[in-house]
Amino acid sequence: MPGIRSTHFVCPPCRTALKRPVGQPGPPPPCAHCGHPMTDAGPQLAVPPRRDADGWAALTAVLEAGLRFPAIGCEADGPGYRPRTMREVEERRTAAHRTGRPVAEMLATRDPWD
């Protein structure tokens, strides 16, 4: 239906994702594979392919840091930056340690050394 937006629910250990309408009442849906509650990552998440283990590891690190991908302003702006590989995650963790900035902030920064 036009006008209805969806949000992404993910289960990183199983590398699965599904969409549900934004604001649907009730608890997060359970993962079809493991049965654990899925994580609401927001409507602007770019879900990695299931076969991309490194991409899912990076997404897991981002979600564990508390980052989500809400629709902010014009949805054409996209979700903003997030690391796509564990190498990028580690670069940002190192930068956070060296600069004293929060890890979550650095994970959302395209160039951690600016």
Rounded alpha-carbon distances, angstroms, from residue 17 to 37, 61, 85: 12, 16, 18
* CA 8 – CA 40 distance, rounded (Å): 6
Confidence of residue 47 (pLDDT cuts 50, 70, 90): very high
Element (H, E) at 78: none
* CA 63 – CA 13 distance, rounded (Å): 12
* CA 53 – CA 55 distance, rounded (Å): 5
Element (H, E) at 112: none
Query: Letter for the amino acid at 77?
Result: D
* CA 58 – CA 48 distance, rounded (Å): 10
- pTM equals 0.85
Confidence of residue 1 (pLDDT cuts 50, 70, 90): very low
pLDDT single digits (tens) 7-43: 999 999 999 999 999 878 889 999 999 999 999 999 9
Q: What pLDDT score does 18 carry? A: 95
Helical residues (DSSP H) of 68-107, grouped into ranges: 86-99, 103-107
